[in-house]
């Protein structure tokens, strides 16, 4: 009987967490969609008359979209793995979800970290060059913002639950864009 009560409580907790995650994802998509729509509204609504002003307006839209691309937002949650016997294995069953984050050098990275555990503290800790240490009580959350400064792989971890609660921020070199050469220019040279 006690086990059924425990399973029922765990099921309610899992359903609650799933609802929170779904709500966050839906709100993120709607905020992002409205931001992109505002940045990329059709230029025809601006009452432009010459071809030159339309080209300038299109370039502004492309620039706004590129600026949006330099921002990365991640939602990271604490999670306890089902079925892990911490006493027998001598390791905690706590993990980050997701545990891998990727950004380009120069990106502004925003990490929304949620401690969904109703009974344990969790940290989001990262060493140099970012030097982050956010310690959260049960059911708290925080927002971390950083500039992805140097390409490399940077480990983040929970100081309360090593070694299982860890992840990586992968900073990639900035993407390169090659300029297209015209066929006429190549032939005439």
Q: What is the DSSP string of 11-78?
A: HHHHHHHHHHHHHHHHHHHHHHHHHHHHHT--GGGG---SHHHHHHHHHHHHHHHHHHHTEEEEEEEE
Average pLDDT of the residues of the chain: 73
> Whole-angstrom Cα distance, residue 105 to residue 151?
6
Closest to 78 measured CA to CA, from 99, 54, 64? 99
Predicted local distance difference test score (pLDDT) of residue 75: 97
28, pLDDT greater than 80: no
- The answer to whether the CB of 157 falls within 8 A of the CB of 116 is no
**Which residue did the predictor score with more confidence, 13 or 146?**
146
Q: What is the pTM of this model?
A: 0.58
pLDDT (tens digit per residue) in 116-156: 999 999 999 999 999 999 999 999 999 999 999 999 999 99
DSSP 165: S
Give the contacts of 136 (CB within 8 A, at least 6 positions apart): 113, 115, 121, 122, 123, 124, 142
- The answer to whether the CB of 28 falls within 8 A of the CB of 75 is yes
> Whole-angstrom Cα distance, residue 73 to residue 112?
8
Residue 189: asked if its preceding bond is cis (omega within 30°), the reply is no
- The answer to whether the CB of 35 falls within 8 A of the CB of 68 is yes
Q: Could you give the angle at which helices 51-69 and 2-39 cross, rounded to 10 degrees?
A: 150
Predicted local distance difference test score (pLDDT) of residue 174: 79
In the predicted model, what is the mean pLDDT of residues 20-37? 45
- The answer to whether the CB of 41 falls within 8 A of the CB of 52 is no
| Residue 159 binned pLDDT confidence (cut-offs 50, 70, 90) | very high
Domain 71-177: CATH architecture, name and number where available:
Sandwich (2.60)
Predicted local distance difference test score (pLDDT) of residue 89: 84
């Amino acid at each position: 009987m006690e086990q059924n009560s425990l399973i029922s409580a765990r099921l309610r907790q899992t359903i609650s967490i799933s609802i929170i995650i779904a709500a966050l994802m839906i709100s993120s998509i709607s905020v992002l969609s409205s931001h992109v729509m505002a940045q990329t509204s059709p230029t025809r609504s601006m009452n432009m008359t010459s071809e030159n002003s339309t080209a300038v307006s299109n370039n502004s839209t492309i620039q706004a979209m590129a600026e949006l691309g330099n921002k990365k937002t991640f939602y990271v949650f604490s999670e306890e793995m089902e079925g892990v016997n911490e006493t027998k294995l001598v390791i905690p069953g706590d993990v980050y979800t997701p545990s891998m984050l990727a950004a380009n050098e120069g990106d502004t990275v925003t990490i929304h970290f949620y401690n969904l555990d109703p009974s344990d503290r969790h940290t989001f800790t990262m060493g140099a060059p970012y030097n982050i240490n956010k310690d959260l009580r049960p059911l708290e959350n925080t927002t971390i913002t950083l500039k992805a400064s140097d390409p490399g792989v940077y480990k983040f971890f929970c100081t309360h639950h090593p070694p299982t609660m860890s992840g990586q921020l992968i900073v990639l070199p900035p993407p390169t864009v090659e300029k297209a050469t015209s066929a006429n220019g190549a032939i005439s040279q």
